[in-house]
């Protein structure tokens, strides 16, 4: 485990969790509201835009745990929120719990299960928010983009709940287009948040899918995106139509995300 999982501490008191040589999470123990990775900022933005305002608690399910950055942020901004984290790597969870302890009186429960297995075990209409942010060997597992998984996500969400996916793709965004087409077949209201460079298909990078069975708060999303720390954009409505035009939805087998290029060729944060 020592070679595969490592913690890198910085001069500001932050810790980056590396898995298989790739940075997976950044944790700031003294200030869990400080989010460094751009896609984590986008996930947080979407949660606040689509949910009751803080400090209202939310029932949140996370597929993928790593350093538990987003659960820590939710606990800090919405104390007492019941959260379930599905993280199959028990060794990673043990290391993070030991070296980066969670706050006292938290309601974060980590289950050593993969995403599809764990989601199938959850109750119907049990989550206000369901976040999918899981990688294996640097790629999103195929099953987490499958039609079967999307249907399970929709079942677990409350009627007005929000589903989020952190997707990584090449400049052409062909993988993202197919995943969006799959999601929209089940959760008809979708949007995409990313930096301008990613949305313009100029580089490999992360984008956040926002999906729901009910209309998204488009005006609020646009306002919050415009205020983001990084140059960020939103694709929604006709823009999504154009992005997924001709994209074939995925079947129950899904499709893994493309492998990332060498680290020197793209930005992580």
| pLDDT score for 1 | 40
Give the phi and the psi of residue 37 in degrees, each rounded to 5. Answer: -70, 135
**pLDDT reported for residue 269:** 39
Q: Give the tens place of pLDDT for each residue, 200-230.
A: 998 999 999 999 999 999 999 999 999 998 8
Distance CA 45, CA 227 (A): 10
Q: DSSP string of 37-74? A: SHHHHHHHHHHHHHSPPTTS---EEEE--TT-HHHHHH
Per-residue pLDDT of the chain (269 residues; tens, 9 = 90+): 434 888 999 888 899 998 877 888 999 999 999 999 999 999 999 999 999 999 999 999 999 989 999 999 999 999 999 999 999 999 999 999 999 999 988 999 999 999 999 999 999 999 999 999 998 888 999 999 999 999 999 999 999 999 999 999 999 999 999 999 999 999 999 999 999 999 999 899 999 999 999 999 999 999 999 999 889 999 999 999 999 999 999 999 999 999 988 754 334 33
Per-state percent for the chain, helix, strand, coil, to nearest 5: 30, 25, 40
Tell me what pLDDT residue 262 has: 72
Q: Which residues are CB-neighbours of 182 under 8 A, at least 6 positions away?
A: 145, 146, 147, 150, 249, 250
Residue 162's SS3 state is strand
Angle at 189 between CA 187 and CA 190, to 5 degrees: 95
Backbone angles phi, psi at 33, to 5 degrees: -80, -10
Contacts of 136 (CB under 8 A, 6+ apart): none
Q: Please tell me the predicted confidence (pLDDT) of residue 13.
A: 82
* CA 246 to the chain's CA centroid: 25
As assigned by CATH, the class of the 5-247 domain is alpha beta
pLDDT in the model for residue 32? 95
Q: What are phi and psi of 196, to 5 degrees?
A: -60, -40
Q: pLDDT at position 263, please?
A: 57
The model's pTM: 0.93
* Domain boundaries, given as residue ranges, for the chain: 5-247
Task: Give just the sign of the alpha carbon dihedral 146, 183, 179, 266.
Answer: negative
CA dihedral 22, 27, 33, 38 (to 10 degrees): -10
CA–CA dist 236, 67 (Å, integer): 30
Write down the pLDDT at residue 23: 86
CB 46 within 8 A of CB 3: no
């Amino acid at each position: 485990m020592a070679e595969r999982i490592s913690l890198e501490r910085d001069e500001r008191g932050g810790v980056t969790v590396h898995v298989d040589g790739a940075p997976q999470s950044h944790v700031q123990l003294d200030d869990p509201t400080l989010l460094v990775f751009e896609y984590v900022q986008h996930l947080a933005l979407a949660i606040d835009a689509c949910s009751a305002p803080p400090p209202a608690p939310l029932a949140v399910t996370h597929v993928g745990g790593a350093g538990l950055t987003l659960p820590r942020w939710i606990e800090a901004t919405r104390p007492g929120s019941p959260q379930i984290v599905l993280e199959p790597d028990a060794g990673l969870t043990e290391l993070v719990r030991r070296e980066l302890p969670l706050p006292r009186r938290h309601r974060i429960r980590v289950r050593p299960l993969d995403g599809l297995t764990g989601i199938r075990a959850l109750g119907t209409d049990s989550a206000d928010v369901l976040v999918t942010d899981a990688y294996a060997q640097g790629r999103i597992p195929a099953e987490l983009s499958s039609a079967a998984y999307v249907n399970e996500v929709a079942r677990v969400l409350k009627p007005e709940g929000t589903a989020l996916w952190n997707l990584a793709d090449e400049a052409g965004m062909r993988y993202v287009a197919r995943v969006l087409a799959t999601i929209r077949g089940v959760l008809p209201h979708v949007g995409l948040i990313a930096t301008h460079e990613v949305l313009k298909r100029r580089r490999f990078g992360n984008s956040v899918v926002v999906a729901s069975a009910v209309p998204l708060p488009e005006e609020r999303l646009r306002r919050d995106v415009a205020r983001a720390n990084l140059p960020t954009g939103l694709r929604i409505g006709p823009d999504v139509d154009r992005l997924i035009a001709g994209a074939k939805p995925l079947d129950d087998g899904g499709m893994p995300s493309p492998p990332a290029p060498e680290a020197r060729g793209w930005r992580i944060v």
